[in-house]
Amino acid sequence: MENSIAGLKEGESGTIVDLLGGISFQRKLRTMGIREGQRIKLVSRQPLGGPLVVEVERQQTTIGRMMAERIIVRL
């Protein structure tokens, strides 16, 4: 089953299968370690539509919800 990171519950993880966006969007995510084939875990959501905290390769980072909706994972 495939879903966006934004659609996961806290503590759930999956394997990134697609990054829906242009070259600059993909480049930005890849510099953060977010790329196809990586395991990613949703650590927490900030309230009121705030950013999401995700963990990739044992490092936590914060991404906006609009970015998270364009990162597709396989559960």
- Mind listing the domains of the chain with CATH numbers? 2-74 (2.30.30.90)
User: 71 CB contacts (<8 Å, ≥6 apart)?
Assistant: 4, 5, 16, 18, 19, 20, 29, 34, 40, 63
| Alpha-carbon dihedral sign for residues 15, 12, 60, 47 | positive
- Residue 67: phi and psi, rounded to 5, are -65, -45
Q: What is the pLDDT of residue 43?
A: 97
pTM for this prediction: 0.90
Q: How confident is the model at residue 1 (pLDDT cuts 50, 70, 90)?
A: confident
Which tokens in the block code for residue 48? Answer: 């009121």
Q: What is the pLDDT of residue 63?
A: 95
Task: Tell me: pLDDT of 2 over 90.
Answer: yes
Which residue reads 């953060």 in tokens?
32
pLDDT 10s digits, 12-65: 999 999 999 999 999 999 999 999 999 999 999 998 889 999 999 999 999 999
